[in-house]
Amino acid sequence: MFKTIEDHVRQQVAPAALRAEFRQHEFDNSRRFCQLIFCVSIAVWLVFDLIVSYLGNQGFTWLSGLFLALMCSLTVVLGFTRKSHHFDVLNLLFISVITLGMRLVIEGIPTPLRPVWLVLGTSTVLYSVSVLPVRRWSFFCAMAITWAMLNPFYGTNIDLDDLEAAMLLSYAVFLSGLVIYSYLRIRQAKLHNFYMSKLLLEQAYVDVLTEIPNRRSFMAKAERQLHQAPPGQYLAMVDIDNFKKVNDRFGHDIGDEVLKRVAVHIKASMAAFEFARLGGEEFAIFFQGLDQTEAEYLVETLCKRVREDLGAHPVTISIGLARVDRADTLTMALVKADQALYEAKHTGKDRFVMWTSRLAAES
Protein backbone atom coordinates (compact mmCIF):
# COMPACT_ATOMS: atom_id res chain seq x y z
CA MET A 1 0.00 0.00 0.00
CA PHE A 2 2.78 2.42 0.98
CA LYS A 3 4.71 1.59 -2.18
CA THR A 4 1.62 2.25 -4.30
CA ILE A 5 1.10 5.66 -2.72
CA GLU A 6 4.80 6.47 -3.07
CA ASP A 7 4.80 5.59 -6.77
CA HIS A 8 1.68 7.69 -7.29
CA VAL A 9 3.26 10.70 -5.57
CA ARG A 10 6.46 10.42 -7.59
CA GLN A 11 4.45 10.60 -10.79
CA GLN A 12 2.78 13.87 -9.77
CA VAL A 13 4.04 17.31 -10.74
CA ALA A 14 3.98 19.48 -7.63
CA PRO A 15 2.06 22.74 -8.23
CA ALA A 16 3.76 26.08 -7.69
CA ALA A 17 1.88 26.71 -4.43
CA LEU A 18 3.05 23.40 -3.00
CA ARG A 19 6.64 24.09 -4.04
CA ALA A 20 6.51 27.48 -2.33
CA GLU A 21 5.09 25.89 0.82
CA PHE A 22 7.81 23.22 0.68
CA ARG A 23 10.60 25.81 0.37
CA GLN A 24 9.28 27.78 3.35
CA HIS A 25 8.79 24.61 5.39
CA GLU A 26 12.31 23.42 4.61
CA PHE A 27 13.84 26.78 5.50
CA ASP A 28 11.90 26.98 8.77
CA ASN A 29 13.21 23.55 9.78
CA SER A 30 16.77 24.25 8.56
CA ARG A 31 17.36 27.77 9.89
CA ARG A 32 19.63 26.59 12.72
CA PHE A 33 21.51 24.34 10.29
CA CYS A 34 22.03 27.31 7.95
CA GLN A 35 23.39 29.34 10.85
CA LEU A 36 25.72 26.46 11.70
CA ILE A 37 27.01 26.33 8.10
CA PHE A 38 27.63 30.09 8.15
CA CYS A 39 29.45 29.93 11.50
CA VAL A 40 31.61 26.94 10.51
CA SER A 41 32.47 28.63 7.21
CA ILE A 42 33.55 31.77 9.06
CA ALA A 43 35.62 29.71 11.50
CA VAL A 44 37.38 27.81 8.69
CA TRP A 45 38.09 31.04 6.80
CA LEU A 46 39.39 32.73 9.95
CA VAL A 47 41.74 29.86 10.83
CA PHE A 48 43.11 29.77 7.28
CA ASP A 49 43.51 33.55 7.25
CA LEU A 50 45.40 33.47 10.55
CA ILE A 51 47.72 30.74 9.29
CA VAL A 52 48.52 32.63 6.10
CA SER A 53 48.78 35.97 7.98
CA TYR A 54 51.25 34.86 10.61
CA LEU A 55 53.06 31.79 9.30
CA GLY A 56 53.23 33.41 5.87
CA ASN A 57 54.36 36.71 7.39
CA GLN A 58 51.48 38.57 5.72
CA GLY A 59 50.01 40.14 8.86
CA PHE A 60 46.35 40.30 9.91
CA THR A 61 45.23 43.48 8.17
CA TRP A 62 42.19 45.72 8.45
CA LEU A 63 40.86 44.05 5.30
CA SER A 64 40.67 40.71 7.09
CA GLY A 65 38.78 42.39 9.91
CA LEU A 66 36.37 43.94 7.40
CA PHE A 67 35.57 40.58 5.78
CA LEU A 68 35.13 38.98 9.19
CA ALA A 69 32.73 41.75 10.25
CA LEU A 70 30.72 41.42 7.01
CA MET A 71 30.33 37.65 7.35
CA CYS A 72 29.38 37.90 11.02
CA SER A 73 26.82 40.60 10.17
CA LEU A 74 25.23 38.40 7.50
CA THR A 75 25.07 35.54 10.03
CA VAL A 76 23.28 37.82 12.50
CA VAL A 77 20.85 38.90 9.77
CA LEU A 78 20.16 35.21 9.08
CA GLY A 79 18.92 34.87 12.65
CA PHE A 80 16.17 37.41 11.88
CA THR A 81 15.34 36.06 8.41
CA ARG A 82 11.93 34.39 8.22
CA LYS A 83 11.21 34.08 4.48
CA SER A 84 12.89 31.48 2.29
CA HIS A 85 13.23 33.85 -0.68
CA HIS A 86 15.06 36.33 1.53
CA PHE A 87 17.51 33.58 2.46
CA ASP A 88 18.18 32.94 -1.25
CA VAL A 89 19.50 36.50 -1.58
CA LEU A 90 21.26 36.49 1.79
CA ASN A 91 23.08 33.28 0.91
CA LEU A 92 24.33 34.80 -2.35
CA LEU A 93 25.70 37.79 -0.43
CA PHE A 94 27.46 35.49 2.01
CA ILE A 95 28.92 33.40 -0.84
CA SER A 96 30.18 36.54 -2.56
CA VAL A 97 31.87 37.84 0.58
CA ILE A 98 33.47 34.58 1.71
CA THR A 99 34.73 33.56 -1.73
CA LEU A 100 36.26 37.01 -2.27
CA GLY A 101 37.81 36.72 1.17
CA MET A 102 39.19 33.28 0.27
CA ARG A 103 40.63 34.68 -2.93
CA LEU A 104 42.44 37.46 -1.13
CA VAL A 105 43.82 35.07 1.49
CA ILE A 106 45.02 32.58 -1.13
CA GLU A 107 46.75 35.43 -2.98
CA GLY A 108 49.05 35.59 0.04
CA ILE A 109 50.49 32.08 -0.41
CA PRO A 110 53.14 31.05 -2.96
CA THR A 111 51.89 30.92 -6.56
CA PRO A 112 52.53 27.17 -7.13
CA LEU A 113 50.26 26.31 -4.17
CA ARG A 114 47.36 28.53 -5.19
CA PRO A 115 45.53 26.21 -7.68
CA VAL A 116 45.20 23.42 -5.11
CA TRP A 117 43.85 25.75 -2.43
CA LEU A 118 41.50 27.47 -4.86
CA VAL A 119 40.02 24.14 -5.95
CA LEU A 120 39.80 23.00 -2.33
CA GLY A 121 37.98 26.21 -1.40
CA THR A 122 35.63 25.79 -4.35
CA SER A 123 34.82 22.21 -3.34
CA THR A 124 34.04 23.28 0.22
CA VAL A 125 31.76 26.16 -0.82
CA LEU A 126 29.88 24.14 -3.46
CA TYR A 127 29.24 21.28 -1.03
CA SER A 128 27.88 23.71 1.56
CA VAL A 129 25.59 25.37 -0.97
CA SER A 130 24.26 22.01 -2.21
CA VAL A 131 22.86 21.10 1.23
CA LEU A 132 21.29 24.50 1.97
CA PRO A 133 17.54 25.13 1.37
CA VAL A 134 17.95 27.43 -1.64
CA ARG A 135 16.04 27.57 -4.90
CA ARG A 136 17.56 26.50 -8.19
CA TRP A 137 18.31 30.01 -9.45
CA SER A 138 20.07 30.85 -6.20
CA PHE A 139 22.06 27.60 -6.28
CA PHE A 140 23.30 28.12 -9.84
CA CYS A 141 24.09 31.79 -9.14
CA ALA A 142 26.11 30.72 -6.09
CA MET A 143 27.91 28.16 -8.23
CA ALA A 144 28.78 30.78 -10.85
CA ILE A 145 29.99 33.25 -8.19
CA THR A 146 32.16 30.59 -6.58
CA TRP A 147 33.90 29.58 -9.81
CA ALA A 148 34.31 33.23 -10.81
CA MET A 149 35.89 34.21 -7.49
CA LEU A 150 37.99 31.07 -7.02
CA ASN A 151 38.98 30.50 -10.63
CA PRO A 152 42.14 28.32 -10.39
CA PHE A 153 43.40 29.63 -13.74
CA TYR A 154 43.44 33.28 -12.71
CA GLY A 155 46.68 34.55 -11.19
CA THR A 156 48.28 31.11 -11.04
CA ASN A 157 50.48 31.14 -14.17
CA ILE A 158 48.92 27.92 -15.55
CA ASP A 159 48.83 27.49 -19.30
CA LEU A 160 45.65 25.92 -20.63
CA ASP A 161 47.64 23.35 -22.63
CA ASP A 162 49.54 22.09 -19.56
CA LEU A 163 48.88 18.74 -17.93
CA GLU A 164 47.97 20.52 -14.70
CA ALA A 165 45.39 22.61 -16.58
CA ALA A 166 43.82 19.51 -18.12
CA MET A 167 43.58 17.87 -14.70
CA LEU A 168 42.07 20.99 -13.15
CA LEU A 169 39.50 21.28 -15.93
CA SER A 170 38.55 17.62 -15.62
CA TYR A 171 38.16 17.95 -11.86
CA ALA A 172 36.12 21.15 -12.25
CA VAL A 173 33.72 19.45 -14.69
CA PHE A 174 33.44 16.37 -12.48
CA LEU A 175 32.93 18.43 -9.31
CA SER A 176 30.30 20.68 -10.91
CA GLY A 177 28.39 17.74 -12.37
CA LEU A 178 28.43 15.84 -9.10
CA VAL A 179 27.31 18.84 -7.05
CA ILE A 180 24.51 19.72 -9.50
CA TYR A 181 23.26 16.11 -9.63
CA SER A 182 23.37 15.76 -5.84
CA TYR A 183 21.57 19.05 -5.31
CA LEU A 184 18.79 18.24 -7.80
CA ARG A 185 18.29 14.69 -6.52
CA ILE A 186 18.24 15.74 -2.88
CA ARG A 187 15.78 18.53 -3.60
CA GLN A 188 13.53 16.16 -5.55
CA ALA A 189 13.60 13.56 -2.78
CA LYS A 190 12.80 16.19 -0.13
CA LEU A 191 9.94 17.58 -2.21
CA HIS A 192 8.44 14.12 -2.72
CA ASN A 193 8.76 13.33 0.99
CA PHE A 194 7.08 16.62 1.86
CA TYR A 195 4.32 15.97 -0.66
CA MET A 196 3.78 12.45 0.66
CA SER A 197 3.73 13.59 4.29
CA LYS A 198 1.20 16.28 3.44
CA LEU A 199 -0.93 13.78 1.51
CA LEU A 200 -0.91 11.22 4.32
CA LEU A 201 -1.68 13.87 6.94
CA GLU A 202 -4.61 15.10 4.89
CA GLN A 203 -5.91 11.55 4.57
CA ALA A 204 -5.53 11.10 8.32
CA TYR A 205 -7.20 14.37 9.34
CA VAL A 206 -9.52 15.31 6.46
CA ASP A 207 -12.75 13.52 5.61
CA VAL A 208 -12.31 12.22 2.07
CA LEU A 209 -15.96 12.54 1.05
CA THR A 210 -16.83 16.03 2.33
CA GLU A 211 -13.28 17.47 2.33
CA ILE A 212 -13.69 18.98 5.78
CA PRO A 213 -11.83 17.92 8.97
CA ASN A 214 -12.68 14.48 10.33
CA ARG A 215 -13.31 13.25 13.86
CA ARG A 216 -9.61 12.74 14.65
CA SER A 217 -8.81 16.31 13.65
CA PHE A 218 -11.77 17.75 15.55
CA MET A 219 -10.99 15.89 18.77
CA ALA A 220 -7.36 17.05 18.75
CA LYS A 221 -8.14 20.72 17.98
CA ALA A 222 -11.16 20.96 20.26
CA GLU A 223 -9.24 19.31 23.11
CA ARG A 224 -6.46 21.87 22.75
CA GLN A 225 -8.91 24.78 22.74
CA LEU A 226 -10.73 23.30 25.70
CA HIS A 227 -7.51 23.26 27.71
CA GLN A 228 -6.83 26.89 26.82
CA ALA A 229 -10.23 27.62 28.39
CA PRO A 230 -11.12 30.91 26.64
CA PRO A 231 -14.51 32.36 27.60
CA GLY A 232 -17.67 31.58 25.69
CA GLN A 233 -17.16 27.96 24.61
CA TYR A 234 -20.05 26.03 23.05
CA LEU A 235 -20.29 22.68 21.30
CA ALA A 236 -22.88 21.88 18.65
CA MET A 237 -23.81 18.44 17.31
CA VAL A 238 -25.44 18.49 13.87
CA ASP A 239 -27.46 15.63 12.38
CA ILE A 240 -29.18 15.41 8.98
CA ASP A 241 -32.88 14.68 9.41
CA ASN A 242 -34.25 11.49 7.82
CA PHE A 243 -30.90 10.72 6.22
CA LYS A 244 -31.51 6.97 6.28
CA LYS A 245 -34.66 7.46 4.20
CA VAL A 246 -32.65 9.44 1.64
CA ASN A 247 -30.15 6.61 1.34
CA ASP A 248 -32.84 3.91 1.18
CA ARG A 249 -34.98 5.73 -1.39
CA PHE A 250 -32.38 7.35 -3.69
CA GLY A 251 -29.23 5.34 -3.04
CA HIS A 252 -25.91 6.06 -1.40
CA ASP A 253 -24.65 8.25 -4.24
CA ILE A 254 -27.44 10.74 -3.55
CA GLY A 255 -26.75 10.38 0.16
CA ASP A 256 -23.12 11.31 -0.45
CA GLU A 257 -24.20 14.38 -2.40
CA VAL A 258 -26.43 15.43 0.50
CA LEU A 259 -23.53 15.04 2.93
CA LYS A 260 -21.30 17.15 0.69
CA ARG A 261 -23.93 19.86 0.40
CA VAL A 262 -24.46 20.09 4.15
CA ALA A 263 -20.69 20.14 4.66
CA VAL A 264 -20.41 23.07 2.24
CA HIS A 265 -22.97 25.03 4.28
CA ILE A 266 -21.14 24.28 7.53
CA LYS A 267 -17.80 25.25 6.03
CA ALA A 268 -19.17 28.50 4.59
CA SER A 269 -20.98 29.65 7.72
CA MET A 270 -18.62 28.31 10.41
CA ALA A 271 -15.22 29.11 8.88
CA ALA A 272 -14.14 31.01 12.01
CA PHE A 273 -14.62 27.96 14.25
CA GLU A 274 -13.56 24.33 14.46
CA PHE A 275 -15.92 21.96 12.66
CA ALA A 276 -15.78 18.39 11.38
CA ARG A 277 -17.72 15.41 10.17
CA LEU A 278 -17.74 12.98 13.07
CA GLY A 279 -19.07 10.09 11.04
CA GLY A 280 -22.18 9.05 9.15
CA GLU A 281 -24.52 12.05 8.96
CA GLU A 282 -23.19 13.67 12.16
CA PHE A 283 -21.15 16.86 12.26
CA ALA A 284 -19.74 18.90 15.15
CA ILE A 285 -18.88 22.58 15.65
CA PHE A 286 -16.79 24.01 18.50
CA PHE A 287 -17.46 27.68 19.26
CA GLN A 288 -15.37 29.99 21.40
CA GLY A 289 -15.49 33.67 22.26
CA LEU A 290 -19.30 33.83 22.03
CA ASP A 291 -22.16 34.40 24.41
CA GLN A 292 -25.23 32.18 24.35
CA THR A 293 -27.25 34.53 22.16
CA GLU A 294 -24.53 34.61 19.50
CA ALA A 295 -24.09 30.83 19.54
CA GLU A 296 -27.84 30.27 19.24
CA TYR A 297 -28.04 32.74 16.35
CA LEU A 298 -25.29 30.93 14.44
CA VAL A 299 -26.84 27.47 14.75
CA GLU A 300 -30.30 28.80 13.95
CA THR A 301 -28.88 30.49 10.85
CA LEU A 302 -27.26 27.21 9.82
CA CYS A 303 -30.59 25.39 10.15
CA LYS A 304 -32.24 28.05 8.00
CA ARG A 305 -29.46 27.95 5.42
CA VAL A 306 -29.80 24.18 4.92
CA ARG A 307 -33.59 24.39 4.91
CA GLU A 308 -33.59 27.04 2.20
CA ASP A 309 -31.21 25.11 -0.04
CA LEU A 310 -33.72 23.96 -2.65
CA GLY A 311 -31.31 21.90 -4.71
CA ALA A 312 -32.00 18.32 -5.67
CA HIS A 313 -33.15 16.22 -2.70
CA PRO A 314 -33.46 18.98 -0.06
CA VAL A 315 -32.99 18.07 3.59
CA THR A 316 -33.10 19.70 6.99
CA ILE A 317 -30.85 19.39 10.02
CA SER A 318 -31.26 19.19 13.77
CA ILE A 319 -28.70 20.66 16.16
CA GLY A 320 -27.91 20.10 19.82
CA LEU A 321 -26.07 23.01 21.44
CA ALA A 322 -24.30 22.84 24.82
CA ARG A 323 -22.30 25.38 26.78
CA VAL A 324 -18.88 24.04 27.79
CA ASP A 325 -18.17 24.72 31.44
CA ARG A 326 -14.68 24.99 32.89
CA ALA A 327 -15.00 21.63 34.62
CA ASP A 328 -16.19 19.85 31.47
CA THR A 329 -14.03 17.47 29.49
CA LEU A 330 -14.52 17.17 25.75
CA THR A 331 -16.32 13.86 26.26
CA MET A 332 -18.71 15.49 28.74
CA ALA A 333 -19.39 18.34 26.32
CA LEU A 334 -20.11 15.87 23.50
CA VAL A 335 -22.53 13.98 25.75
CA LYS A 336 -24.38 17.21 26.58
CA ALA A 337 -24.60 18.24 22.93
CA ASP A 338 -25.79 14.76 21.99
CA GLN A 339 -28.53 14.90 24.63
CA ALA A 340 -29.68 18.24 23.23
CA LEU A 341 -29.56 16.81 19.70
CA TYR A 342 -31.72 13.87 20.79
CA GLU A 343 -34.26 16.34 22.13
CA ALA A 344 -34.23 18.34 18.87
CA LYS A 345 -34.77 15.17 16.82
CA HIS A 346 -37.71 14.06 18.94
CA THR A 347 -39.47 17.40 19.19
CA GLY A 348 -39.99 18.22 15.54
CA LYS A 349 -36.57 18.21 13.85
CA ASP A 350 -35.32 21.08 11.67
CA ARG A 351 -34.46 23.04 14.79
CA PHE A 352 -31.87 23.43 17.53
CA VAL A 353 -32.16 22.75 21.25
CA MET A 354 -29.99 24.27 23.97
CA TRP A 355 -28.81 21.78 26.59
CA THR A 356 -30.17 22.13 30.12
CA SER A 357 -29.73 20.00 33.22
CA ARG A 358 -33.30 18.73 32.68
CA LEU A 359 -32.15 16.89 29.57
CA ALA A 360 -29.46 15.13 31.55
CA ALA A 361 -32.00 14.03 34.15
CA GLU A 362 -34.36 12.69 31.48
CA SER A 363 -31.76 10.73 29.54
pTM of the entire predicted model: 0.70
DSSP type of residue 54: I
Give the separation between CA 72 and CA 89, rounded to whole angstroms: 16
Q: Specify the pLDDT at position 160.
A: 67
**Residue predicted with more confidence, 92 or 151:** 92
User: What does the pLDDT read at residue 232?
Assistant: 81
9 near 195, Cβ under 8 Å? yes
- For 112, other C-beta atoms within 10 Å of its C-beta total 11
What's the pLDDT at 3? 56
Higher pLDDT residue, 49 or 75?
75
CB atoms within 10 A of CB 272: 11
Those residues whose C-beta lies under 8 Å from the C-beta of residue 86, and which sit 6 or more positions away, are: none
User: Given 281, 296, 308, 343, which residue is catalytic?
Assistant: 281
Name which residue leads in pLDDT, 85 or 226. 85
Pick from 19, 146, 7, 41: nearest CA to 85: 19
Measure the CA–CA gap between 271 and 287, rounded to whole angstroms.
Answer: 11
Percent of the chain predicted with pLDDT > 70: 93
Domains present along the chain, CATH in parentheses: 2-203 (no CATH), 215-362 (3.30.70.270)
Confidence of residue 213 (pLDDT cuts 50, 70, 90): very high
Q: For residue range 215-252, what is the model confidence (pLDDT) as tens digits?
A: 999 999 888 888 876 778 999 999 999 999 988 888 98
For residue 285, name the pLDDT band (cuts at 50, 70, 90): very high
Sign of the Cα pseudo-torsion (263, 265, 267, 273, in order): negative
**In this structure, how many other beta carbons lie within 10 angstroms of the beta carbon of residue 161?**
7
The reported pLDDT for the residue numbered 4 is 58
**pLDDT tens, 132-145?**
999 999 999 999 99
pLDDT tens per residue across span 27-38: 999 999 999 999
274 is catalytic: no
